[in-house]
Amino acid sequence: MLQICRKKQAQLSRQYQQRTLAHAIIIQGIEGAGQGALAKWLIELLICQNPLSAINDPKNETISEACGQCKACLLRKTDNYPDHLLLNTENKTLGVDDIRRGNAFLEKTAHLGKVKTILIPQAQVMTIAAANALLKTLEEPSANSYIVLITDDLDSLLPTIVSRCAVYAIRPMIGEALLTQLNVSNYGDIQLSSSSTLAKKENDTAYINLSHLPELTDKIIYQEFQTFNQYFLDYLVNGQSEDKLLSQIVDNKHSLRWLEKIICNLIREYYLVNATGKALLVAEQQISVQALNQIYQAIINSNKLIKSHIQANRQFVGEQLLMTINEIVRSSI
Ligand SMILES: [Zn+2]
């Protein structure tokens, strides 16, 4: 498991052991944050009949995990476990029929006894009708059932759904934490380290399943992302394109997530390229990695501000953010 998820794993393990785990859980994270791996770990733990606990040394936190040996674990490994349902979609949206399939699944008695679990890996593609059908289930949860939703964009879910779920937001690793998790053989060829058995198990899933991000699947949004990226770099490096950037931040619902992603990539690039001794794009432009980290923090704070206020003024938050970024860049040169 990626290091960044350790904290969430410890938190979820604690709630699991104390039996205070919510019956509806949203795991939210941007591209590459490891939300899929975290959800997989949690589902496996919920399914297991004989879970193990291990102390996660640095902070003395106990992390539970599936045993991998019991009848439920063995069935799950071969995809024959009857009490788990994956609500996935090949289409662009997850419809009301899919959710009804989930509701029917929950109404039946569990085959192996313990719990029933449903995983919805792309919760943000639910239609309004589907979301309303799910809402009914969330309002009257059946006993011993767990619904885990994964999304990259909490804003695209109905607030009534979000308010009925426990939300776990994870962020991708940056900086030193990322480096310790990566074995860099050469630039562009990155392998995750497998220092623990858990890491080995999760490597395959940690960085895949990104296809639901609109800029990766939609040509127009991809172009918008590229343009936005250019405006931002222009602003960051040359102090230009401020007006265009601000209007994007105000009008484009993806903009803050994109800012987070761009800065994350710059920081990753810094460490990865640095580790292989190649020229540093960021360093050439005289923006330090410390400044990038500060900017990352400012973006996260703005994002939180906008998400925590229903009537948040994006214009105001955007202006403040650009001012902060400007100050960080100027004081770091
Ligand atoms: Zn087991």
Q: With 60 as the cut, is the pLDDT of residue 147 above it?
A: yes
Rounded to 5 degrees, φ, ψ at 114 are -65, -75
Instruction: Please tell me the distance from the alpha carbon of residue 321 to that of residue 116, in angstroms, as a whole number.
Output: 44
Three-state secondary structure along 298-315?
A: HHHHHHHHHHHCCCCCHH
Asked which of 106-115, 181-190, 233-242 is least confident by mean pLDDT, the reply is 181-190
C-alpha 13 to ligand 1 mean position (Å)? 15
CATH code of residue 267: 1.20.272
Q: How far is the CA of 146 from the centre of ligand 1 (A)?
A: 17
Residues 140 and 277 in one domain: no
pLDDT reported for residue 319: 93
CA 20–ligand 1 middle distance (angstroms): 20
- Distance of CA 241 from the midpoint of ligand 1 (Å): 55
Of 158, 184, 206, the last residue of a domain is 206
CB distance 85 to 102 below 8 Å:
yes
Using the mean position of ligand 1's atoms as its centre, give its distance from the Cα of residue 137 in Å.
27
Residue 195: other Cβ atoms inside 10 A: 11
Instruction: Choose between 282 and 226: higher pLDDT.
Output: 226
Query: 35-47 and 3-17 are packed helices; what angle lies between their axes, rounded to 10 degrees?
Result: 30
So what's the pLDDT on residue 239? 86
- 130 and 220 share a domain? no
Calculate how far, in angstroms, residue 193's C-alpha sits from the geometric centre of ligand 1. Answer: 25
Q: Are both 101 and 248 inside the same structural domain?
A: no
Domain enclosing residue 271, as ranges: 214-332
What CATH code is carried by the domain that includes residue 7?
3.40.50.300
pLDDT value of position 51: 93
Which residue stretches of the chain are H helix?
A: 3-17, 35-47, 71-77, 96-107, 128-139, 159-163, 175-181, 197-206, 214-217, 219-238, 242-251, 255-276, 281-284, 289-308, 314-332
Q: Same structural domain for residues 289 and 327? A: yes
Is the pLDDT at 57 greater than 90? The verdict is no
In a shared domain, residues 17 and 148: yes
- Same structural domain, 228 and 315: yes
Which H helix or E strand runs over 25?
strand 24-29
Q: How far is the CA of 163 from the centre of ligand 1 (A)?
A: 32
pTM (2 d.p.): 0.58
Q: Which of 134-138, 235-239, 312-316 has the lowest mean pLDDT?
A: 312-316
The residue among 149, 173, 206 that closes a domain is: 206
Same domain (yes/no): 200, 223: no
pLDDT at 41 over 90: yes
pLDDT of residue 79: 85
Least confidently predicted of 47-56, 213-222, 282-291: 282-291
Angle at 124 between CA 230 and CA 22, to 5 degrees: 125
194 and 225 both lie in a single domain: no
Final residue in a domain of this structure, among 206, 231, 255: 206
Q: Work out how many domains the chain is built from and give that number.
A: 2
For tokens 């944050």, name the residue: 33
Q: Tell me what pLDDT residue 276 has.
A: 57
Using an 8 Å Cβ cutoff, are 137 and 103 in contact? yes
Q: From 1, 40, 16, 38, select the one nearest 114 (Cα to Cα).
A: 16
Q: Are 159 and 177 members of one domain?
A: yes
pLDDT confidence of residue 188: 34
* Mean pLDDT score across all residues of the chain: 79
